Amino acid sequence: MGIHWRRLRQRQLSKRVQAGSRFLPTTGINPVRPGLLPVHDDHAQEWIIEEIGMTRFLFALIVIVLLGVSLAGAVLAQEPTCEDAIGCVTLAPDDPVTIAWMQTVSGPTSFFGDDAVGGIEIAMEQRDYTVLGREIELIGEDSLCNPEGGQTAAQRLVSDPQVVAIIGPSCSSAAVPAIPIASNAGFLMVSPMTTSSALTNPDRDAGGVWMPGFFRTVYNNLLEGAVAAQFAYEELDARTMATIHDGSNYAFDLALATERNFVEFGGEITFSGAVNVGDTDMSAILTNIASNPPDVLFFPIFQPEGDYLVAQAKFIPGLEDVIMLTADALLVEGFPIDSGEAALGVMLTGPAVTGEPYEAFLELWFDKYGEAPPSGFHAHSFDAANMVLDAIEAVAITGEDGTTLVGRQALRDAFANYRDFEGLTGNLSCSPTGDCGAVESMVIFIITEAEVFEGKWPPTILWKPGSEESE
């Protein structure tokens, strides 16, 4: 016992000596001029001088000087300073660049989210998950397709100051609460598939919810509605129209925009109603429409309700001559395949996402996931991801010590300044209020036998706004 005790004391003593020497430089004690010491205890002072000795003093002095020089050098020459109005993301030399998506990846709308995430992942893969010479860390948050989901996901993402940009959300209903959260936190949020006109409308009195920092690579419903109405009135010579939405922000807004434009052209709306998400039997609403058949039935709804509607319309007496016009919600490779013969002659408004780059993209998708994309927004997501990465590369400032700063306002400005970005969905130019969707590429497609039986995709383009003759 006794020996133990002694050993312990010895160890404590030697520790004390070490501690004294280690703390010496930082406490500012200068043994050469003992008068400057904060004298509390004469014994302590003596003890320090006795224990440490002269060589150690010199050594310590050199260390202090070296440290001081290097610190001063770092401050003066190497550390970049953030001059951004709303702050920067600071990336230490080894930090990855964190990009976040918030999409609906669970529940009945998860096919949207999977579609978007797939597009984002392919965009990242094409760059080997590298931007600014750093690794990209892609994180995700499930924002569902409702306000609660959007709120929660946005709150979680903005709580991480390393997140440079958010790609999402999937649904306009989730975007409404997410926009102010992301905007107030200084984040950049780019949505690849929310088309509601309110989202990029800054006028609160008119129901707008836009705030700085929100952009979308998909077009505005107002645009699509105008094209749909123009096509119906001028090209199809339709004078009456019925619309069906599904209660979603997207479908309701688009149906409304189309109705307004159609009425402005001089047309008449004979019926405007809605189905529920989850309905399988569409005979009730179709019979209602058939009681006063319109020239055109516009139904901007999604799978599977859109499939059911198209398939069942064939059996409703009175709808034989009605032209079925839908929107990009059904611009999905599975739609003609799933609906079969019933889809023949169905027309769709949507972006002319065609051409070789898109086909190459589809091939990549197929190699990665083994099946066709589950919805029609993968190309917009791909563009959104690329635009975000390009913007980051444009605004990032790297100091000599390897620290990188990404200014949040600079990032927003870079987005707002996008002009003719060549994406899969066309040439994207951003408006000051966040509309980046490629406007010139809105066309009317038609489903023909090639799409139904031979799997041709994207479908045949029937008409382009501005073109006099339909093909």
Partner 1 sequence: MTQTRTVSRNKLFGIPLPAGHTGVDLIISALRIIIVALIIIGAGNTLLEGRFTFEQWLALLFAGLAQGSIYALIALGYTLVYGILRMINFAHGDVFMAGAFTTVFLANSFRQSGFLDSQPLLAILILMGFAALVSMTVAVLLERIAYRPLRNAPRLVPLITAIGASFFIQYTFRGLFGSGFKAYPTVAFLRGTFSVGSINVPIAQLFVFVSAIVLMICLYWLVERTRIGKAMRSVSEDKEVATLMGVNIDLIIVFTFAIGGALAGAAGVINGLFRPQGVNFFMGFFPGIKAFTAAVLGGIGNIPGAMLGGMFLGVIEAIGPNLVLNGLGIPSANQLKDVIAFTMLVLVLIFRPQGILGERLSAEKA
Q: Which residues bind partner 1 (CB under 8 A)?
A: 106-108, 110-111, 113-114, 247, 272-276, 278-281, 283-285, 287-288, 290-292, 303-305, 307-308, 311-312, 315-318, 332, 334, 337-341, 369, 371-375
Q: Which residues contact 88 (CB under 8 A, 6 or more apart)?
A: 82, 405, 406, 407, 408
Nearer to partner 1, 334 or 465 (CB): 334
In the complex, minimum distance from the CB of residue 360 to partner 1, in angstroms, rounded to a whole number: 21
Distance CA 243, CA 330 (A): 15
We find the least distance from the C-beta atom of residue 111 to partner 1, in angstroms, to be: 4
Shortest distance in whole angstroms from residue 273 CB to partner 1: 5
CB of 467 to partner 1, least distance (A): 33
Q: In this structure, how many other beta carbons lie within 10 angstroms of the beta carbon of residue 43? A: 8
Min CB(137)–partner 1 separation in Å = 24
Sheet strands side by side (includes 214-216): 130-131, 134-142, 97-103, 163-167, 188-191, 214-216
Q: How far is the CB of 300 from partner 1 (least distance, A)?
A: 15
Tokens 């000051």, located at residue: 432
122-to-128, 129, 394 alpha-carbon distances in Å = 10, 10, 21
Cβ at position 191, least distance to partner 1 in Å: 19
Q: What distance in Å separates the CA atoms of residue 273 and residue 259, rounded to the nearest whole number?
A: 12
For residues 72 and 51, what is the distance between their CA atoms, to the nearest angstrom? 31
**Complex with partner 1: residue 117 or 443, whichever CB lies closer:** 117
Q: How far is the CB of 18 from partner 1 (least distance, A)?
A: 57
Indicate the residue among 240 and 386 with the shorter CB distance to partner 1: 240
**Cβ nearer to partner 1, comparing 93 with 318:** 318
Q: Smaller CB distance to partner 1: residue 35 or 317?
A: 317
Residue number with CB closer to partner 1 (244 or 395): 244
Cα 191 to its chain centre, rounded Å, is: 4
Q: Which residues share a beta bridge with 131?
A: 134
Task: Output 178 or 244, the one with its CB closest to partner 1.
Answer: 244
Indicate the residue among 320 and 420 with the shorter CB distance to partner 1. 320
Give the DSSP H/E element, type plus range, for residue 283: helix 283-290
Nearer to partner 1, 198 or 452 (CB): 452
- Omega into 293 within 30° of 0, i.e. cis? no
Separation CA 209–CA 262 (nearest Å): 25
Measured on CA atoms in the order 276, 282, 283, 288, is the torsion positive or negative? positive
User: How far is 198 from 220, CA to CA, in rounded Å?
Assistant: 9
Q: CA 327 to CA 285: how far, in whole Å?
A: 19
With respect to partner 1, which residue has the nearer C-beta, 59 or 315? 315
Instruction: Specify the 3-state DSSP secondary structure of 270.
Output: strand
Q: Which of 427, 296, 435, 297 is nearest to 352 (CA)?
A: 427
Q: Quote the least distance from Cβ 282 to partner 1, whole Å.
A: 9
Rank residues 340 and 345 by Cβ distance to partner 1 and give the closer one: 340
As a whole number of angstroms, the distance between CA 402 and CA 238 comes to: 63
Q: How many angstroms separate the first and last alpha carbons of the chain?
A: 102
In angstroms, what is the minimal distance from the CB of 299 to partner 1?
A: 12
Shortest distance, position 149 Cβ to partner 1, whole Å: 16
User: In residues, how long is the chain?
Assistant: 471
Q: Report how far residue 405's alpha carbon sits from residue 399's, in angstroms, rounded to the nearest whole number.
A: 8
